[in-house]
Amino acid sequence: MTIAKVVLAYSGGLDTSVIIPWLKENYGCEVIAFAADVGQGEELAPLREKALQSGASKIYIEDLRHEFVTEYIFPMLKAGAIYEGKYLLGTSIARPVIAKKQVEIAEKEGADAVAHGCTGKGNDQVRFELTFRSLNPKLKVIAPWREWSIRSRQDAIDYAAKKGIPVPVTKEKPYSMDSNLWHISYEGGVLEDPWQPPDEEMFRLTVAPEKAPDAPEEITIEFEQGIPVAVNGQSYSPVALIEHLNQLGGKHGIGRIDIVENRLVGMKSRGVYETPGGTILYLAHRELEYLTLERDTLHFKAHLSQKYAELVYYGQWFSPLREALDAFVDKTQERVTGTVRLKLWKGHCLPVGRKSPYSLYRQDLATFEEDSVYNQKDAEGFIKLFGLPQQVWHMVKKD
């Protein structure tokens, strides 16, 4: 198949910087760069000039921050999705919103193909390509890391130098970084040894917990149907709310995660993540669910939360199962409305208060003092019937 025009997901980093001239050399095609603003900030400033100098015919820089938060992050937050108990899915959840816009640009430009800079060892190749296949399977997908002779980041650095392309990576500091509004991730370099701690100077969003303020800071977060809407009584737009919580959490050293995770492609990898605002939101949201969801729904939702996390991690955002789970989650969130008070201190985020107009906590039922609602004698019959199967099993076992 002849490729005349390709849209490249472009970050300006090492991999995508060298892909532009490589595509032109090997496919003889026009290359249109596409950069998504998902909250990486100042990284976007030099991209337009850099992409054009690298050989792109044009570049799109699209502000997707509001869509990213409202249509991807907030549904994931409401679902309580955390991969393998630690990872808040910052890189994973950004890929479908980026790939979706890339498909739209390819269709607008009449492109034959889309391309990405994901390696053949990583998860992101799956996330991008499942989105491409879901939204427009007619587009050819070009994944240079699965085709070219470059076999390492060192080779890519040398290729960039040969082509006169500046990249923000050196042989002395070769770890990979990915940032967006929700988090920053770090991989490679010293992190490839799970025994070695990350370099402190690597972190961008958080101070070291031991260097955080000695005095704790209390904050409140208000939710409406599972969605955060205010901090300390002040309303914020979705994007501004996360930015504000990133600042608060980062100041107190909250949100650092160091995990050896199971990649979809079968290997274990070590990743270090900073998610200060997200860590605060997940904890606050969970505390409010403890107060407002009845027992069976809360326990069942925990099982689905794990599955939801896997769908996000595996790149299956546009799957019918994820859409079906959203319907369940949205139903559970109808009364997850209220306020949570938290204490931020030295890397810790501690819940110290919660209230809701839909609270299922009844002091007259839970009190240790005298009450006229709960007849404690009723518990005797309940225990006998509840334990009957277990009792019979042991009786038979002894016989």
Task: Tell me if residue 123 falls in helix, strand or coil.
Answer: coil
**For the chain, how big is the Rg over CA atoms in Å?**
25
3-class SS shares of the chain: helix, strand, coil, % to 5: 45, 20, 35
d(CA 244, CA 261): 29
Concerning whether 364 is annotated as a catalytic residue, the answer is no
Concerning whether 15 is annotated as a catalytic residue, the answer is yes
| 15 labeled binding residue | yes
| 36 labeled binding residue | yes
Write down the catalytic residue from 65, 124, 178, 256.
Answer: 124
Q: Residue 127, CB half-sphere, CA atoms under 13 Å: how many?
A: 28
- What DSSP state is assigned to residue 85? T
Write down the catalytic residue from 54, 176, 305, 356.
Answer: 176
Write down the catalytic residue from 15, 37, 112, 178.
Answer: 15
Write down the catalytic residue from 65, 95, 270, 335.
Answer: 95
Concerning whether 124 is annotated as a catalytic residue, the answer is yes
| 17 labeled binding residue | yes
| 327 labeled binding residue | no
| 235 labeled binding residue | no
Concerning whether 95 is annotated as a catalytic residue, the answer is yes
d(CA 139, CA 121): 22
Distances in Å between the Cα of 145 and the Cα atoms of 20, 175, 220, 226, 286 are: 13, 17, 46, 40, 40
| 273 labeled binding residue | yes
| 136 labeled binding residue | no
| 119 labeled binding residue | yes
| 176 labeled binding residue | yes
| 356 labeled binding residue | no
| 14 labeled binding residue | yes
Measured in Å, how far apart are the chain's first and last C-alpha atoms?
75
| 127 labeled binding residue | yes
Could you please report the per-residue DSSP string of 261-320?
EE-TTS-EEEEEEE-HHHHHHHHHHHHHHHHHS-HHHHHHHHHHHHHHHHHHHTT-TTSH
Catalytic annotation, residues: 15, 95, 124, 176
| Annotated binding-site ranges for L-aspartate | 119, 123-124
| Annotated binding-site ranges | 9-17, 36, 87, 92, 117, 119, 123-124, 127, 176, 185, 261, 273
| Annotated binding-site ranges for ATP | 9-17, 36, 117
| Annotated binding-site ranges for L-citrulline | 87, 92, 123, 127, 176, 185, 261, 273
